[in-house]
Structure 1
Amino acid sequence: MTSLGTHTDTDVLVVGAGPTGLLLACELALAGVRTLVAERRDAPHRESRALNLHPRGIELMDMRGLAGRFLARGRTVPGWQFIATLPHRLDFTALDTRHPYALLLAQARTEALLEERARELGVRIRRAHRVVALGRSSSGVDAELRGPGGTVTVRAGYVVGCDGGRSFVREAAGIGFPGTRESMTAVVGDFAVADHAHIERARRHGVLVARLEEGLTRFVVMDPLRIRVPSTEPVTLAEFRASLSRVCGTDCGIGEPRWLSRFGNATRLAESYRRGRILLAGDAAHVHFPVGAQGLNTGLQDAMNLGWKLAATVRGWAPPGLLDTYHRERHPVGRAVTDGTRAQTLLVELPLTEEYGRPAALLCELLDTLLGMAEVNRHLAGRISALDTRYPPAAPDADPLSGRRMPDIGLTTTAAGRAVRVYELLRDGRFVLLRLGRGGGPEPPAIGDRVRVVTARSHDGHRDLEGVREVLVRPDGHIAWAGRAGGPRALGAERSRALAAWAGSGTGSVGQASTP
Structure 2
Amino acid sequence: MHNHHSHPYDVVIAGAGPVGLFLACELRLQGLSVLVLEQAEVPHSPLKRLPFGMRGLSAPTLEAFYRRGLLDEVIAAQRANDAVSETAATAHWMQQPRRPAGHFAGIQFYHDRIDASKWPYRLPSPAGTSMPAALETLETVLARRACAMGVEIRRGADVDGFIESDEEVMVHAGNETFRGSWLVGCDGGRSAIRKAGGFEFAGTDPEFTGYSVEVEMADPEALRPGRHYTPTGMYTYAHPGTIAMVEFDGGASHRIQPISIDHVQAVLRRVSGVDVTLTRLRLATTWTDRAYQATTYRKGRVLLAGDAAHIHSPLGGQGLNLGIGDALNLGWKLAATVRGDAPAGLLDSYSLERHPVGASVLDWSRAQVALMRPTQSTRALEAIMRDLIETPDGATYFAERVWGVSLRYDLDDSHPLTGRSVPDFELVDGLKVGALLTEGKGVFLDFGSDASLRALVNRWRERVRYVASDARNRLGLSAVLMRPDGIVAWASETASREEEVARALSRWFGEPESASQSG
Q: Which residue matches 1:420?
A: 431
Contact 1:433/1:453 (CA < 8 Å) preserved in 2? yes
User: What is the CA-CA distance between 1:200 and the residue it aligns to?
Assistant: 7.1
Q: CA separation of 1:435/1:256 partners in 2, compared to 1, >3 Å: closer, same or farther?
A: farther
Report whether the alignment pairs 1:83 with 2:83: no
Which of 325, 333, 336 does residue 357 from structure 2 map onto? 333
Which residue pairs with 1:40 in the alignment? 39
Report the CA distance between 1:182 and its aligned residue: 2.1
Deviations along 1:159-212, whole A, 9 cap, x unmatched? 00111122111122221001112221111124589999889723355544679x
Counterparts of 1:111 and 1:477, CA distance in 2: 23
Mapped contact 1:92–1:102 kept (Cα < 8 A):
no
Shift of 1:282: 0.5
> Which residue, 406, 412, 420 being the options, matches 2:422?
406
Are the counterparts in 2 of residues 439 and 469 from structure 1 also a CA contact under 8 Å? no
Equivalent position SS for 1:419: coil
- State the match for 2:499 in structure 1: 493
Rounded to whole Å, the distance in 1 between the matches of 2:491 and 2:182 is 32
Per-residue CA distance 1:4-47 (angstroms, 9 max, x = gap): 86544100000111111111001001110000001111111412
Structure 1 residue aligned with 2:376, among 346, 358, 367?
A: 358
Alpha-carbon distance change, 174 to 452 in structure 1, aligned in 2, over 3 angstroms: same
1:236 is displaced (CA, Å) by: 2.9
Question: Which of 389, 392, 417 is the aligned partner of 2:407?
Answer: 389
> Cα distance, 1:259 vs. partner?
2.5
Instruction: Find 1:507's aligned residue among 498, 508, 513.
Output: 513
Which segment drifts farther, 290-299 or 189-198? 189-198
User: CA 1:60–1:219 in 2, change beyond 3 Å: closer, same or farther?
Assistant: farther
Structure 2: which 5+ runs fail to align? 79-88, 94-98, 117-121
State whether residues 101 and 108 of structure 2, in contact with CA within 8 Å, keep that contact through their aligned partners in structure 1: no
1:145 paired with 2:145, answer no
Task: Provide the rounded CA distance (Å) in 2 between the counterparts of 1:92 and 1:279.
Answer: 41
Report the counterpart of residue 459 of structure 1 in structure 2.
472
Residues 101 and 236 of structure 1, relative CA distance in 2, 3 Å threshold: farther
Deviation at 1:398, TM superposition (A): 2.4
What is aligned with 1:55?
59
- Describe how 1:12-411 pairs up with structure 2 within 5 A: 12-46=11-45, 47-48=47-48, 50-52=53-55, 53-74=57-78, 75=89, 79-88=100-109, 94-95=115-116, 96=122, 98=125, 99-146=127-174, 151-190=175-214, 201-203=225-227, 207-208=235-236, 218-223=242-247, 229-233=252-256, 234-241=258-265, 243-244=267-268, 247=271, 257-348=281-372, 350=373, 352=374, 357-393=375-411, 395=412, 398-411=414-427
> Which moved further from structure 2: 382-391 or 328-337?
382-391
Provide the TM-score with structure 2 as the length reference: 0.84
The one-letter amino acid paired with 2:384 is L
Contact 1:410 1:460 in 2 (8 A): yes
Say if 2:223 and 2:274, in contact at 8 Å, map to a contact too.
no
**Does 36-45 or 251-260 show the bigger shift?**
251-260
- Gap change, CA 1:503 and 1:469, over 3 Å in 2: same
Amino acid at match of 2:255: T
How far 1:332 sits from its partner (Å)?
0.6
- The answer to whether the 8 Å contact 1:20/1:162 transfers is yes
CA contact (8 A) 2:306 2:324 kept: yes
Unaligned ranges ≥5, structure 1 = 413-417, 510-516
Structure 2: which amino acid aligns with 1:54?
S
Larger mean Cα displacement after TM superposition, 286-295 or 432-441: 432-441
Aligned to 1:513: none
Q: Deviations over 1:99-146 (max 9, x none)?
A: 445322221221111111111110000011122221111111111221
Q: C-alpha distance in 2, partners of 1:340/1:496?
A: 38
Distance 1:495 1:209, change over 3 A: farther
Kept after mapping to 2: 8 A contact 1:162/1:284: yes
CA deviation after TM superposition for structure 1 residue 157, in Å: 0.7
Higher mean alpha-carbon deviation, 193-202 vs 472-481, is at 193-202
Equivalent in the alignment of 1:514: none
Aligned residues: 478
* Matched AA of 1:375: D
Match of residue 448 from structure 1: 461
Any conservation in 1 of the 2:208–2:247 contact (CA below 8 Å)?
no
Query: What is the CA–CA distance in structure 2 between the aligned matches of 1:252 and 1:108, rounded to whole Å?
Result: 32
- How high is the sequence identity, in percent, across the aligned residues? 35
Distance 1:427 1:195 in 2: 53
Alpha-carbon distance in structure 1 between the residues aligned to 2:261 and 2:33? 46
Cα distance, 1:86–1:112 mapped onto 2, change above 3 Å: same
Question: How far apart in 1 are the matches of 2:451 and 2:358?
Answer: 37
Paired with 2:431 and 2:464, the residues of 1 have a C-alpha distance of 17
Q: Give me the whole-angstrom Cα distance separating, in 2, the residues matched to 1:217 and 1:101.
A: 31
SS of the equivalent of 2:460 reads coil
Instruction: Give the C-alpha shift of residue 480 in structure 1.
Output: 0.7
Structure 2 CA distance for aligned equivalents of residues 292 and 51 of structure 1: 11
Q: Is the 8 A contact 1:201 1:248 kept in 2?
A: no
SS in 2 for 1:410: coil
The answer for the alignment partner of 1:10 in structure 2 is 9
Residues 448, 508 of structure 1: 8 Å contact kept: no
Task: Please state whether the residue corresponding to 1:157 is helix, strand or coil.
Answer: strand
Letter in 1 for 2:54: L
CA 359–287 in structure 1, closer or farther in 2 if over 3 Å, else same = same
Aligned to 1:415: none
Distance of 2:279 and 2:436 partners within structure 1 = 49
For the aligned residues, what is the CA RMSD?
A: 3.0
Secondary structure at the counterpart of residue 360 of structure 1? helix
Deviation for aligned residue 1:87: 4.3
Deviates more, 1:328-337 or 1:168-177: 168-177
* C-alpha contact 1:472 1:482 (8 A) present in aligned 2: yes
AA at the equivalent of 2:414: A
Name the CA shift for 1:230/1:239 in 2 (closer, same or farther; >3 Å). closer
The whole-number CA distance in structure 2 between the counterparts of 1:144 and 1:248 is 47
Residue 90 of structure 1: CA displacement? 7.3
> CA, structure 1 residues 210+452, in 2 after alignment: closer, same or farther (shift >3 Å)?
farther
Partner of 2:486: 477
Structure 1 counterpart of 2:62, which letter?
A: I
Alpha-carbon distance between aligned partners in 2 of 1:507 and 1:106, rounded to the nearest angstrom: 43
